[in-house]
Structure 1
Amino acid sequence: MTLKEAQWYRDRLAKKARRGFCGYPVATVAFYGPDDRRATKVSVGIVAHDGADADPVERWFCETSDARTDPATIEAVVRFIEEQGARSVATVDRIIGCPHEEGIDYPEGEACPLCPFWRNRDRWSGEIIG
């Protein structure tokens, strides 16, 4: 993929998010990482109607690059959103937590042992709590 193509996908995703709510289905895009500097996971869920759970949900992982700027990952995200017919895209402009899943990668109710950065940290503001 050329640099120009990669930029086109990043711009397309950003433009969809800037438009705000344009109806359902809504694609929710969330970036996760071991800290607040590099996203190693992006999760996209499709919400079909008000009050519905996200379904389907897809996840992509980037071990060596940042998922927010990785050309192949952003292309896959945009293609998935378009394939699902999402009319709106909801996202935040930051990494919102650890890429590991509670109850799957580590026990329920515990902090992730692999991502100490997120221990006692508010995932939405990034500020330390408690």
Structure 2
Amino acid sequence: MTFKAQWYQGKFAKKRGKGFCGYPVATVAFYGPDDTRATKVSVCIVAHEGADADPVERWFCETTDARIDPEVTEAIVRFIDHHGAKSVVAVDRIIGCPHEEGIDYPEGEKCTQCSFWANRDRWSGEIIQ
């Protein structure tokens, strides 16, 4: 890993580790076809309590894991800095399928491309009935 990539990884980790420091808040979520490789990351800015997430930016990785891809990490850090987020909230796991309900598959149905998540709780990763 290059020095630049390490620097952005470190900066992102530091931002996540500070806890709540006020608004605006950046939320970072990783998605993948299973729980081993993130193929999508979504970053949202919440300007104040009760506000909708806006703007929202997404990055996709076809061959790498979005959690450790240096270009994606740099883009995330730049996006967060550009929007002046004082706090960064990120989960430490992949939280679901990268496909979007109502866009990539019908509302109320399960994604046909990601069977791993079909009967799984996205927050715990445990199988549910």
TM-score normalised by the shorter chain: which range applies? over 0.9
Output one character per residue of 1:63-121: Cα deviation in whole Å (capped at 9) or x when no partner: 01000011101000000000000000001100000000000000000000000000110
1:11: how far off?
A: 1.1
1:4: how far off?
A: 1.3
Q: Which residue of 2 aligns with 1:59?
A: 58
Q: Distance in 2 between matches of 1:117 and 1:52?
A: 32
Partner-residue secondary structure (3-state), 2:54: coil
Output one character per residue of 1:24-82: Cα deviation in whole Å (capped at 9) or x when no partner: 00000000000000000000000000011100000000001000011101000000000
1:71 paired with 2:45, answer no
| % identical aligned pairs | 75
1:10: how far off?
A: 1.0
Amino acid at match of 2:9: R
Partner-residue secondary structure (3-state), 1:55: strand
Amino acid at match of 1:62: C
TM-score by length of 1: 0.97
Q: Which residue of 2 aligns with 1:107?
A: 106
TM-score by length of 2: 0.98
1:81 paired with 2:80, answer yes
Q: Which residue of 2 aligns with 1:8?
A: 7
Q: Which residue of 1 aligns with 2:120?
A: 121
Would you identify which runs of 4 or more consecutive aligned residues in structure 1 move more than 4 Å? none
Partner-residue secondary structure (3-state), 1:56: strand
Amino acid at match of 2:36: R
Unpaired segments ≥5 residues, structure 2: none
Amino acid at match of 2:23: Y
Q: Which residue of 2 aligns with 1:97?
A: 96
RMSD across aligned C-alpha pairs, in angstroms?
0.7
Amino acid at match of 1:9: Y
1:3: how far off?
A: 1.3
Q: Which residue of 1 aligns with 2:16?
A: 17
Amino acid at match of 1:87: K
